[in-house]
Amino acid sequence: MSPKLTPVFLLFLVVVVSFHASSSAALVESFAPDSESFSLPSPLISTIRSTLDEIQKVLSVLSTVPGPFLGGDPRVSSAIQDCVDLLSLSSDELEWTLSSASSAPATTQAAKLSVGTGQPRFDLRSWLSAAVGNQDTCAESFEGTDGIVKALVVGSLGTVTSLVYDVLTQIPDDVGGRGGKGGGGGGSRKLLDSTGFPVWMGTAERRLLQAPGSGVQANVVVAADGSG
């Protein structure tokens, strides 16, 4: 004979389910593209700041690599410079993320220079995805090289990539779904709207792409034969 559920226990279940549903709805609403009060949850902000700290640690290591560790291989020196540039870009993209999702005034130069599409949810996914890719490109720069520098850098990049990816998976790629979790509809993501343009693209950019070639003033001309 199964035990009976007491009224108190039933009430407890109702409260728990209601709280979970309201919390999930609030999270999705905060990421809605048309939300005027867009904000990141505090845990994600803390993770982003921790990631920025990790990036600075790696940059500090890269900037102080002793000459003997380079092994006379110019590819290592080139890879280090590439990684410095890429990690600096990741740092900027994370600063843009914090700036876009915060009502506080921008404090860093990178945040002040950030330019988004006006749709924070899409901007965040773009910046965070780029930040993940930067670490992969940095690691690829060391392919074909050996030594302690490669091992040290690649190992440190794993921590940065993991932290950025943790944040990225929390940004919904469409209303009602979490980023990177598949969502509904077989995990597909609608990248284009009914006009055939990316959903994040602004009106000005669409008009530029739709303009006839004769109506666009070129800033750079490249020879058809690739000579310059």
pLDDT in tens, 34-80: 444 457 788 888 999 999 999 999 898 888 776 666 666 788 888 88
Residue 122 lies in a domain: yes
Model pLDDT, residue 28: 45
> pTM for this structure?
0.59
Domain membership of residue 202 (yes or no) is no
Q: Tens digit of pLDDT for each residue in 150-179?
A: 888 888 888 898 999 988 888 876 544 445
SS3 readout for the chain: CCCCCCHHHHHHHHHHHHHHHHHHHHHHHHCCCCCCCCCCCHHHHHHHHHHHHHHHHHHHHHHCCCHHHHCCCHHHHHHHHHHHHHHHHHHHHHHHHHHHCCCCCCCCHHHHCCCCCCCHHHHHHHHHHHHHHHHHHHHHHCCCCCCHHHHHHHHHHHHHHHHHHHHHCCCCCECCECCCCCCCHHHCCCCECCCCCECCCCHHHHHHHHCCHHHCCCCCCCCCCCCC
Total domains in the chain come to 1
In a domain, 212, yes or no: no
d(Cα 221, Cα 202) in Å, to the nearest integer? Answer: 26
Exposed / middle / buried, residue 223 (Cβ in 10 Å: 0-12, 13-18, 19+): exposed
Predicted local confidence at residue 122, as pLDDT: 81
Q: What is the pLDDT, as a whole number, of residue 205? A: 72
Average pLDDT in the chain:
70
b/e string for 185-209 if b means 16 or more Cβ within 10 A? eeeeeeeeeeeebebbbeeeeeeee
Return the CATH number at 87.
Answer: 1.20.140.40
Question: Within a domain: residue 71?
Answer: yes
> Lowest-pLDDT range, 48-62, 100-114, 175-189?
175-189
Q: What is the pLDDT of residue 146?
A: 75
The whole-number average pLDDT for the span 129-141 is 88
Domain membership of residue 97 (yes or no) is yes
Higher local confidence (pLDDT), 138 or 15:
138
* Structural contact between residues 124 and 101, judged by C-beta atoms closer than 8 angstroms: yes
**Which residue is listed with tokens 């609030």?**
26
pLDDT higher at 113 or 21: 113
Q: What percent of the chain has pLDDT over 90?
A: 11
Per-residue pLDDT at 50: 93
Q: Within a domain: residue 104?
A: yes
What pLDDT, on a 0 to 100 scale, did the predictor assign at position 38? 59
Separation CA 100–CA 108 (nearest Å) = 13
Whether 24 is covered by a domain: the verdict is: no
At 143 the three-state DSSP class reads coil
Q: Which domain holds residue 151?
A: 42-173
Q: How far apart are CA 124 and CA 175, in angstroms?
A: 14
Cβ distance 92 to 109 under 8 Å?
A: no
